[in-house]
């Protein structure tokens, strides 16, 4: 039940303000280690070149990959790779590997030419079709490994944050027929968090937030994820109680304490739990009954 949930600060809540810094730091560390190992390996293999040359090659390559990672993550959010979307979205990702490699090669070569020109040297590029074919084999591997790392990280956060799902509706009594025009609305949601399971009531939800392929459910100062779009999930809730107030947010009208108008025509909603939710002027009319 909602009132049995833990109220002490959790590690995930403390981590949240540092999340972007930690994510960026992770990729910087991984790419830096990758760059140094590859530079040393290439230098040992070639023997007759100064170490700075393989260092420049690997720095330009890994820097370009690092710049492409946010675009790749955004692309996967638009075309998610799940079992139910694999057949539809896999061709998009196959095409994405070609674009990923093409941008990688062009930016990488431009950086190398600029670095060589800065010291009065020239960087020679072989036949473009050969270069692209060679780099593509490596870039496909990088593409897949990046997505694997992203999926693993999301799964870890999901386990720590807790994943909610709608409880199965009770089966109708034998011989009874469903009432026409009625739709079952979920009253409770089952949340799995690490090895624990508990229920939250729909009426206890304060607000909702669209988060990629999930909806964030805010309850008593905690956030849980449910795999759905915001529009689809709202369609399951009581429209007299839950309304959309922003492209990415919806609120429980019973939990709105104050509506603060802004000069832009938008508003800021002060919720009874002390949190604040953005409200765009496009959705202001939905608050008429609040």
pLDDT of residue 144: 96
- d(Cα 153, Cα 30) in Å, to the nearest integer? 14
In this predicted structure, what is the pLDDT of residue 233? 85
Q: State the 10-residue block means of pLDDT for the chain, 290 residues long.
A: 37 73 94 95 88 94 96 89 84 96 96 94 88 94 95 79 58 44 65 70 88 82 81 86 90 91 88 89 72
Residue 264, classed as helix, strand or coil, is coil
For residue 179, the model assigns a pLDDT of 44
Tokens of 135: 């780099």
SS3 of residue 143 by DSSP: helix
Residue range 186-287 in CATH 2.40.50.1020: yes
What b-and-e string marks burial along 105-115, b requiring 16 or more CB atoms within 10 Å of the CB? bebbbebbbeb
Q: Over the stretch 195-205, which tens digit does the pLDDT of each residue have? A: 667 788 888 88
Q: What is the pLDDT of residue 190?
A: 76
| Range list of β-strands (E), 93-248 | 163-166, 188-193, 196-201, 205-211, 214-219, 222-227, 242-244
3-state helix, strand, coil in the chain (%, to 5): 50, 20, 30
């Amino acid at each position: 039940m909602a009132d049995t949930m833990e109220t002490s600060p959790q590690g995930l809540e403390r981590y949240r303000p540092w999340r972007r810094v930690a994510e960026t730091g992770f990729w910087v560390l991984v790419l830096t280690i990758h760059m140094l190992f590859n530079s040393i390996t290439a230098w040992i293999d070639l023997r007759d070149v100064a170490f700075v040359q393989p260092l420049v090659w690997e720095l330009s390559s890994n820097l370009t990959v690092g710049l492409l990672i946010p675009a790749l993550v955004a692309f996967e959010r638009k075309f998610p790779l799940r079992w139910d979307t694999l057949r539809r979205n896999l061709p998009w990702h196959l095409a994405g590997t070609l674009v990923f490699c093409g941008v990688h090669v062009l930016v990488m070569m431009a950086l190398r030419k600029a670095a060589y020109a800065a010291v009065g040297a020239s960087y020679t590029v072989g036949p473009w079709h050969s270069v692209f074919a060679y780099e593509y084999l490596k870039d496909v591997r990088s593409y897949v490994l990046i997505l694997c790392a992203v999926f693993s990280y999301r799964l870890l956060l999901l386990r720590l944050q807790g994943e909610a799902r709608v409880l199965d509706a009770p089966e109708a009594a034998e011989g009874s027929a469903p009432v026409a025009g009625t739709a079952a609305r979920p009253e409770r949601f089952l949340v799995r968090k690490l090895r624990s399971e508990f229920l939250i009531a729909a009426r206890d939800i304060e607000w909702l937030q669209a988060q990629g392929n999930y909806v964030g459910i805010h309850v008593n100062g905690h956030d849980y994820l449910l795999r759905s779009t915001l529009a689809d999930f709202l369609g399951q809730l009581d429209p007299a109680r839950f309304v959309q107030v922003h492209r990415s947010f919806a609120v429980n009208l019973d939990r709105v304490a104050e509506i603060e108008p802004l000069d832009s025509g938008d508003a800021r909603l002060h919720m009874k739990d002390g949190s604040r939710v953005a409200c765009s002027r496009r959705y202001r009319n939905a608050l008429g009954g609040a």
